[in-house]
Amino acid sequence: MSPTPRPRPDARQPLADGATPSSGQMFRRGAVKSLPFLIVMIPFALLFGVVALEAGMDVAQVLGFSVLVLAGASQFTAVQLLSDNAPVIVVILSCLAVNLRMAMYSASLVPWLRDATAPQKAWVAYALVDQSYALSIQEYEANPRMALRQRLAFFAGVVTVVCLPWMVFSWLGATVGRAIPDDIALDFAMPITFLAMIAPMLRTPAHLAACFVAVLGSLLLAGLPSGLGLLIAAPIGMATGAAVEAWTGRRARA
């Protein structure tokens, strides 16, 4: 058994008491919970294919990005910078900076997945994107007694629905080259889905404080180069959450 981080009461659709769902059921649960993301994922993936194609990349390169890098924001950044004739080292460092937040996701999953085998951890790492992280951590926190196998199965279910279409539809966008109209406000699909994902998790004063400080920090530091403001603002928000938790006397047992 893996050690279970502090159980907490939670209103977010916990599994029925005493139920021990099979890995298959957890895989399906993860897949079903990810379905809403397709509304965002599919148009964005198509758009990436189209944009990269217009920048002069070939279909293999588009697929190379979506399979090997598998990180939407940094893929768009890379295409943008390459089109601007930025030096290769600048392209690489900027995109890695955009992705550095995932190190925080990686650390945050350690308590939940520490007993997984090295190959399992490598697979989780490969598919650790904003959506797979957010949905999984939400599920793990809501059902802290889940076994490791179930946690991995849930993650795999999410990844199947979130990551595979990213690859398929960016390939399709590059192949079909279909233009997506600019006036349907797709730019706002990502902010809305992320906010919708996080709002239900803001269930204590500590969570609210962490969120508020991180948002304030990111707005104040928005002038810094790509991703840097976030890397300063987010840890300050996390520290604020931890401080408020300690202060309100909610002692943790790991």
Partner 1 sequence: MTNGTSDLTVWLVIVVLGIGTFLIRWSFLGTLGDRELPEWVLRMLRYTPVAVLPALVAPLVVWPAATGGQPDPARMAAATVTVAVGLWTKNMIGAILAGAITLFGLLYML
Q: Hey, which residues between 159 and 198 contact partner 1 (CB under 8 A)? A: 182, 185, 187-198
Angle, CA 11 vertex, CA 9 and CA 14 arms, to 5°: 80
Q: Which of 5, 43, 144, 205 binds partner 1 (CB under 8 A)?
A: 5
> What is the phi/psi pair of residue 79, to 5°?
-65, -45
**Neighbouring C-beta atoms of residue 62, cutoff 10 Å:** 27
Contact criterion met (CB below 8 Å) for 167 and 201: no
Measured from the Cβ of residue 252, the count of other Cβ atoms closer than 10 Å reads 10
118 touches partner 1 (CB under 8 A): yes
User: Which member of 15, 31, 38, 92 binds partner 1 (CB under 8 A)?
Assistant: 92
Contact residue for partner 1 among 15, 147, 167, 238 (CB under 8 A): 238
Count of CA atoms in the C-beta half-sphere (13 A) of 187: 4
Least Å distance, CB 26 to partner 1, is 18
Write down the least CB distance from residue 174 to partner 1, Å.
Answer: 13
> Under rule CB under 8 A, which residues in 29-88 are in contact with partner 1?
36, 39, 54-58, 61, 64-65, 68-71, 74, 78, 82-83, 85, 88
Q: Output the smallest distance, CB 22 to partner 1, in A.
A: 25
Near partner 1 in 6-25, by CB under 8 A:
11-12
228 in contact with partner 1 (CB under 8 A):
no
Q: Is 214 in the site for partner 1 (CB under 8 A)?
A: yes
Residue 146 lies near partner 1 (rule: CB under 8 A): no
- Site stretch for partner 1 (CB under 8 A), options 24-32, 96-104, 148-156, 160-168: 96-104
How far is CA 179 from each of CA 1, 47, 54, 168, rounded to the nearest angstrom? 51, 8, 10, 17
What would the DSSP string read from start to end of 70-136?
--HHHHHHHHHHHHTT--HHHHHHHHHHHHTHHHHHHHHHHHHHTTS-HHHHHHHHHT--HHHHHHH
Among 42, 101, 149, 205, binds partner 1 (CB under 8 A): 101
Q: Which is nearer to partner 1, 157 or 237 (CB)?
A: 237
Question: Least distance from C-beta 55 to partner 1, angstroms?
Answer: 6
Place of tokens 């699909």: 189
**Total interface residues for partner 1 by CB under 8 A:** 100
Whole-angstrom CA distances from 225 to 95, 97, 100, 222, 234 are 11, 9, 13, 8, 15
